[in-house]
Amino acid sequence: MAVMEITGVAEQDSDLRRSAFKPNSPACKAVIEQLLQIIEKANSILLLPCVRAIGNLARTFRATESRMIQPLVQLLDGEREAEISKEATVALSKFACPENYLRIDHSKAIISAGGAKHLIQLVYFGEQMVQTPALILLCYIALHVADSEDLAQAEVLTFLEWASKQSHLISNEKVYTLIHESKSRLELYQSRGSRGFH
C-alpha cells in the first residue's frame, strides 16, 4: 500500500519519478519484481495496489521493458472481478495514453499480448464500471497503431462504429471525441487495400 502511494506521488512529480524509480537501480528493480510477481499470481489481496503501482510507474519503463504488459493484459480476461479488470485497464491506459512518450511501443505490446480482443469483450459484456475505461484504452491503441493488422482482424473499426452509437458509452465528450478520432485513423489505414486490410 505504501509503494502504491509513493508511486502515485511519483506519477505526478517527474523529479521524484526520475530519482526514486531509476530503471537500472537495484532497489527499483527489486520493487518492480515484487509487484510483477503478485500481478502474475493474481490471487493476492495486494493485487489491486500492485496493479495501480505499475500503472503509476508507466512512464518510467523503457520501450524494451514490456514484460509488465502481458500480466496486466491477462487481468482483462472476462472471468475476473470487474474491479480487477477495471484497474488493469486503467494501468494499461497509462502505458498507451498520449502523454506517454513510448505509447506506440506499449500499444504494440498490448496488441501482441492479445489485448484488443479482451477489450472488445469487456466493452460488450463487462460491467458498466469497466466498459468506458476499456473503450478509452482501445481508442488509444487504435490511434497509435492504426496500421496494425491485428486490429483489422479483430474488427476494431466495426466495433468502434457500434460503440459510437451507444448513448451510455458516448455521454462523456472526451470518449465521444476519442472514438471519432480513432475511427478516422483506422479508416485511413484500413481503406488502403494494398496493405491487405479489408
Give the pLDDT confidence of 89-135 residue by residue, as tens digits. 999 999 999 999 999 999 999 999 999 999 999 999 999 999 999 99
Residue type, 154: A
pLDDT at 192: 65
Of the candidates 172, 104, 111, the residue with the CA atom closest to the CA atom of residue 143: 104
pLDDT at 38: 94
pLDDT at 197: 45
Q: Are the CB atoms for 144 and 100 separated by under 8 Å?
A: no
Of the candidates 192, 98, 84, 85, the residue with the CA atom closest to the CA atom of residue 143: 98
DSSP-H helix ranges across 67-172? 69-74, 82-96, 103-112, 115-125, 128-144, 149-153, 156-163, 167-170
Single pTM value for the model: 0.91
Which parts of the chain register pLDDT below 70?
192-198
pLDDT at 195: 47
Q: Are the CB atoms for 84 and 36 separated by under 8 Å?
A: no
What span, in angstroms and rounded, lies between the C-alpha atoms of 26 and 166? 48
Q: CA torsion sign, 144 to 110 to 87 to 100?
A: negative
pLDDT at 194: 41
pLDDT at 20: 81
* CATH fold for the domain made of 2-144: Leucine-rich Repeat Variant (1.25.10)
